[in-house]
Structure 1
Amino acid sequence: MLRDVLTGGRQAMSRETALKAAATVLGAIAGAAAVEGFLREPFQLDVARLTIVSPWLPAGFDGLKIVQLSDLHLHHISRAYRRAIDVVRREHPSLVVITGDLVDRPEQAAACLAFLSQLRGAAGVPVVVVPGNWDHRAFPTKQSIAAWHKRIQAEIGVRVLANQNVVLHRHGDRMWLVGTDDPYFGHADLDASFKGVPDTAFALVLTHAPEAFEELAQRPAARLVLAGHTHGGQVRLPFIGAVRVPSRYGTRFARGLFKLGNTLFYVNAGMGMSHLPIRFLCQPELTFITLTSCRLDESTAG
């Protein structure tokens, strides 16, 4: 009887010790994850590189190198943003594009303009932006968002495309750069965006969110679409990936390269954060995209 009591007591103590050890380990893991998510990753920079091989790309644009940034949510120019400027200065791209969500609030405008000015100076090439849903939150009226876009263009020389397109010329060839307004809040007008763009053209499309992907895939000229908005999920878990993405597609287009029909789509994980100042297993991203032409019987992506 006494032996049973002692045995039971030792078992209870062993369970208590095991529980305390497990709690200690879990606490340590949670602490390390918090440090990683709140204090380390938001200030890192993932420089991604992608080559798009397309049979529709005009030969004159073979080798065109594009830098894509997205979702700045710029409060101040932190280490990640300074590194992005340094990388752009070193790599000499042909074009820099930013796919929306420059600011969260109007009072962040000065910091955003300072970053855009430094970025444009470092790039030495055109910088083009399209609006995102947070830009419309910060400037909620037609007059205020138009004034913000005018300020970006007049003070910094950065082009804003909102349901518009421009023709790019290179080595005797031409392609179209199409920019939609934010599709997440329903501001995108694809008919206006593609006005005058031939169906046989190569159009590089900038849009903020994946919300219009299926509609864009129906546009013959839309050969490559660059987007952001998702932040790559902002918090990703091992073996699971993005936990949540604010999109009607859920996590389907959380980040990376996709193909619908003959259209390629790339979703950038973004630079900034929204709602919570955390990034976990999802560093801020700067993407280099190199365009390469090929024959029709070759691969359309590489």
Structure 2
Amino acid sequence: MKYLWFLPLFVGGLFLYMFAYAKATKLKEHNLFLHVKKEEKPLRLFFVSDIHRRKISEALIKQINEKFDAVIIGGDLAEKGVPLKRIEENVRRLSSLGKIYYIWGNNDREVGEANIKGIIQSFGGDVLENSSAVLKTGKQRWMICAVDDTSSGNLNLDQAFTSIQSSDITIFITHSPFVFKKAKNRYQPHVMMAGHTHGGQIRLGPFGMFKKGRMMEEEGYYSLISNGYGTSMVPLRLGARPECHIIRLNGNIE
């Protein structure tokens, strides 16, 4: 009993640690080698998901200090209660890295679909909604395609891949990684990316609601599930550090 005074100090310290942990960011770099023809330069992508209420820091933008062929916002750019000015500032900062391609998350429409579309388009970005876009042409076409979020009732995988040709190099984006299996079975995209799970957000050692974010490779095909950048429900994290990603895609065939 004489040590019970320590309990509130421990709990308070833990909450402070989790709050600070949620404000940190790990910038992960991935060099992927696809079984396609080599290009003079790799395709350079920046991927961030699940920003929610958080601000994209200027320090992070300065740290990156690189231009990309595509800056991909993988859903949950916002949620209910996030000021439009904050969303606009986050998009402005991300647009300084390259052209934005935005994908719907399950919370984004809470601030108004027209508001999100208007902000993305005002900075020259594209909203990918069961659609695709050409990122680069060279020895082969490099394509990005994406679906609407599963929560919308509007997800259409076949429509997203309508313009994709068998010779294309395809990057598939979905907010929810639970779409990966169906996309892989039907269309075999070279790279798949998603967020949504927050890596479990609060983990006790190996235990969490979802697995930690990870990059996986299988027979030259890659899939990324990100821990995401922000938080939902509570502004706390433990064992699933916030992250964003620099991805360089290289061919390995002469």
Query: 1:46 aligns to what?
Result: 26
Query: 2:39 aligns to what?
Result: 60
Query: 1:5 aligns to what?
Result: none
| Structure 1 pair 269–236 and aligned structure 2 pair: CA distance change class (3 A) | same
Cα distance between partner residues in 2 of 1:59 and 1:43: 38
TM-score where L is the length of structure 2: 0.88
Q: Give the one of 271, 274, 277 matched to 2:235.
A: 277
Residue 65 of structure 1 aligns to a residue whose secondary structure is: strand
**Identity of matched residues, %:** 23
Query: 2:86 aligns to what?
Result: 111
1:202-245 CA-to-partner distances (Å, cap 9, x unmatched) read 1011110112011011133411011101111111222x14x21x
Query: 1:213 aligns to what?
Result: 180
Unaligned runs of 5+ in 2: none
Unaligned runs of 5+ in 1: 1-18, 140-144, 245-250, 297-302
Cα distance between partner residues in 1 of 2:197 and 2:247: 19
Counterpart contact for 2:39–2:251, Cα < 8 Å: no
Greater percentage in helix: 1
Question: Following superposition of structure 1 onto structure 2, how do residues 153-172 of structure 1 map, counting pairs within 5 Å?
Answer: 153-172=120-139
Q: Extract structure 1 runs of 4+ deviating beyond 6 A.
A: none
Q: CA deviation at 1:294?
A: 1.5
Query: 1:20 aligns to what?
Result: 2
Cα distance between partner residues in 2 of 1:158 and 1:293: 27
Counterpart contact for 2:175–2:195, Cα < 8 Å: yes
Residue 272 of structure 1 aligns to a residue whose secondary structure is: coil
Query: 1:9 aligns to what?
Result: none
Q: Which amino acid aligns with 2:22?
A: P
Greater percentage in strand: 2
Counterpart contact for 2:34–2:220, Cα < 8 Å: no
TM-score where L is the length of structure 1: 0.75
Question: Following superposition of structure 1 onto structure 2, how do residues 68-83 of structure 1 map, counting pairs within 5 Å?
Answer: 68-74=47-53, 77=55, 81-83=57-59
Q: Give the one of 226, 231, 236 matched to 2:193.
A: 226
| Structure 1 pair 35–150 and aligned structure 2 pair: CA distance change class (3 A) | closer
Counterpart contact for 1:45–1:83, Cα < 8 Å: no
Cα distance between partner residues in 1 of 2:31 and 2:6: 43
Cα distance between partner residues in 2 of 1:165 and 1:274: 29
| Structure 1 pair 193–91 and aligned structure 2 pair: CA distance change class (3 A) | same
Q: CA RMSD in A?
A: 2.5
Q: Which amino acid aligns with 1:182?
A: D
Cα distance between partner residues in 1 of 2:39 and 2:83: 39
Q: Which amino acid aligns with 1:31?
A: G
Query: 2:15 aligns to what?
Result: 34
Q: CA deviation at 1:91?
A: 2.9
Question: Following superposition of structure 1 onto structure 2, how do residues 282-297 of structure 1 map, counting pairs within 5 Å?
Answer: 282-295=240-253
Query: 1:11 aligns to what?
Result: none
Q: Give the one of 84, 100, 105 matched to 2:60.
A: 84
| Structure 1 pair 214–261 and aligned structure 2 pair: CA distance change class (3 A) | farther
| Structure 1 pair 183–260 and aligned structure 2 pair: CA distance change class (3 A) | farther
Q: CA deviation at 1:105?
A: 2.1
How many residues end up aligned between the 2 structures? 254
Pairing 1:100–2:75 present: yes
Q: CA deviation at 1:200?
A: 3.5
Cα distance between partner residues in 2 of 1:103 and 1:87: 23
Residue 33 of structure 1 aligns to a residue whose secondary structure is: helix
